[in-house]
Structure 1
Amino acid sequence: MSSLLLSLSSKASLRKLPLRCHTLRMFSSSTTNPYLLYRVINYGSSMDDIHVTSNIHYFDPVKEDEVIVRDKVLPMELRKGCLVGMSHGWGVFKAVCDYNEYKAIYVTDYYNPYGSKSVKSIPLHPLGKPIAIQQQAITNAAMTCSPDQSKDFAVAVKCLGPMINFNRPGGTHKDSGSIIFKTPFQYFDQSKVMYSKRDEKFYTPSFGGHFLVFWDSFFEEDMTGSELVELRFCNVPKLTQSEWELLDSCSKTVYLVESPSGQRFLIK
């Protein structure tokens, strides 16, 4: 289970230039404590400098202590990109390629506090064949497992709008690159995707949380669609009129999460 909230999206900054830091919050489940990633400071003379390193600041909410990973090399392919999702400790980057012609999608352990200083980056699409997914705004991403756990990992990238993209870089779809589906109805345009380890499926809740669409993680190229179910809730708490008015004044975001024991929760 992992989710990502970006509180500030900006390009990477350099220490010798006017300072602009990434500030974001990340929860990523693992056998260790989850970390809150809140600042990245890059060092180098320019973004084109070969030697650009980063100090990445985390907060351990269990120990209530700061953890700093120092001198981590920032790969060239990630310098003109932004983090759009996180899963199993690996980040999904949307990066601008040469001449700004199109954008490539990478999965990388750059933000993993337990990753090596030699950053691993895996392109999800053939760099010479830009496809529609690379031109879209991305809401989030989810993975079946990290590339360290299995070479046959699958990645789902949810775009703003009806499009969702599946990719298995090291599996049977290595040559074709990816498969794209469209979610049914407009209720899924701003939704986010999650992976259920228990069911081995990717799930996406509708904007209001009333419907759920899902795909098998062992997707095949001849798949033409998804399965849709309607959610019905029991034991809904009774609220006073003032509490309803307070809720109406708030913006709603829906997250579907799964605990290590396999229980799923819909968080609004």
Structure 2
Amino acid sequence: MNAVQRQYEQEPRWKTSTIISMIFAFLFLVWSTTAIDFSNFTESGMKIAKNILLGIVQPNMDLLFNFTQQGVPYLLLETVAIAFLGTIVGSVLAIPLAFLSATTIVPKPVAYLVRLLLIVIRTIPAIIYGLLFIRVTGQGAFTGVLTMSFVSIGMLSKLYTDVIEELDHGVLEAMESAGCTTYEKIRFGVIPQLSALFVSIVIYRFDMNMRDAAVLGLVGAGGIGAPLIFAMNSHRWPEVGALLIGLIILILIIEWMSNRLRSKIIKGV
């Protein structure tokens, strides 16, 4: 009997637990369907869905290739700028918070206190941040940048912290035994090992912020969201189709580019 066969026979049998889990999952799925109210599917709703699909198939080509501030290319560029600036600002502000919440860098009481602050920041949805900043700075792209920055801080700090705590502690212990300060440990022992991983995390967050930036436009935080909701409320379906096509193409391009960049960075680590 070879080693593979022996390992296979030693593997525990999960057949009973798997069947029970599937039964519970099925029952939960059936129970969840009771919350669906099919009476809301009215004839007018189906007509609107049909018009949206027709708008995508027959978009307003003049709007799609209009390079003024009312055109799709400019609105998409504004959306990219909001997501990019928000990601950059959030990624920079998240670095000190990440180090302050890493138990391998600072005392545990300090780390737990900062982590509590980051949990509070992550708890608030992006749409709430957008509504709050609109009251302060008014409608526009600057509100979107501030919102993206705060939304990015919570997630980036957590991911940064996870990477920091997974570092080789031997390097930090050697530097500490040599009498290095906390700043010196971060500057010469941590950052050189983290730079590539940090960049990969930032690219991933930018990919997410692109989608959030489009949604934030619905509350007046700049970008393509506001024209999209205005066109839908006015039943201008060809304009809706043009805006959606532009947004879909942009998201696909960003997705492709971010995946290639992250794969190259990870391979180079």
TM interval, shorter chain, is: under 0.3
Greater helix fraction, Structure 1 or Structure 2: 2
After TM superposition, the score normalised by the length of structure 1 is 0.20
Larger Cα Rg: Structure 1 or Structure 2?
Answer: 2
Structure showing greater relative contact order (alpha-carbon pairs closer than 8 Å, 6 or more residues apart): 2
